[in-house]
Amino acid sequence: MEVLKVGHSSSPNKVAGAIAGVLSKTDEVEIQAIGAGAVNQAVKAIAIARRFVETRGKKLFVVPGFVEVIVGEEKRTGIKFRVFAEISEEKAEA
């Protein structure tokens, strides 16, 4: 599974494009964020990516959780978002 790391200065639109790009190749991506600003940008990016993938007939599902990441020599706890894309029922029935 591909992992995208988001920082407080990440552009939500660019991250959303990266999420949509990964989800065009596979049905799952993980987004990792450490700190309140980074989590905020990640959530905005997921919301924007939802619009991108809806045009392709897919729905997004998000499962949040915790992740421990080594930054330098320090262990930090962050938030991870496992994002799944599934074919929308409306498109599947058409």
Report yes or no on 94 lying in a domain. Answer: no
| Number of separate domains in the chain | 1
How far the first Cα of the chain sits from its last, in Å, is: 30
Query: Domain range for residue 60?
Result: 2-87
Band (94; pLDDT cuts 50, 70, 90): low
Domain with 79 in it: what CATH number?
A: 3.30.110.20
Identify the pLDDT of residue 59.
Answer: 94
Identify the pLDDT of residue 93.
Answer: 55
> Can you point out the beta strands (E) in the chain?
2-6, 28-33, 58-71, 74-87
Band (91; pLDDT cuts 50, 70, 90): low
Report yes or no on 67 lying in a domain. Answer: yes
Q: Residue 11 above 90 pLDDT?
A: yes
Report yes or no on 93 lying in a domain. Answer: no
> 17-53 pLDDT, tens per residue?
999 999 999 999 999 999 999 999 999 999 999 999 9
